[in-house]
Amino acid sequence: RRTEIARVPSSRLALAAAVAGFADHLRGGEHMAGYGLDRIAALAADADVPDLFGYRAELVELIRRAEAIKAPDTDGRQSIAQ
């Protein structure tokens, strides 16, 4: 039912969205609608899920590194896909 839909996504869903967003950004970010690497990193970092093996922390680090090396595309978008 519509009344049972959460207004805020779960932490697991937020982390999954960050992973998908980063993957899309690496492919050129055609479906990002202005959602940049900074927001993707924050989404992953803020996900309150157990990180027993350090995968979430590694994802955040990879996003930060990608943010540091990104270059503007000819149409003004920021992307590391070449």
HSE at residue 77, side-chain half, CA atoms within 13 A, is: 18
- Chain segment 3-59, per-residue pLDDT in tens: 777 777 799 999 999 999 999 999 988 888 888 999 999 999 999 999 999 999 999
DSSP symbol at 2: G
Report the C-alpha gap between 3 and 29 in whole angstroms.
33
Which H or E run contains 15? helix 11-26
Model pLDDT, residue 8: 79
pTM given for the model: 0.75
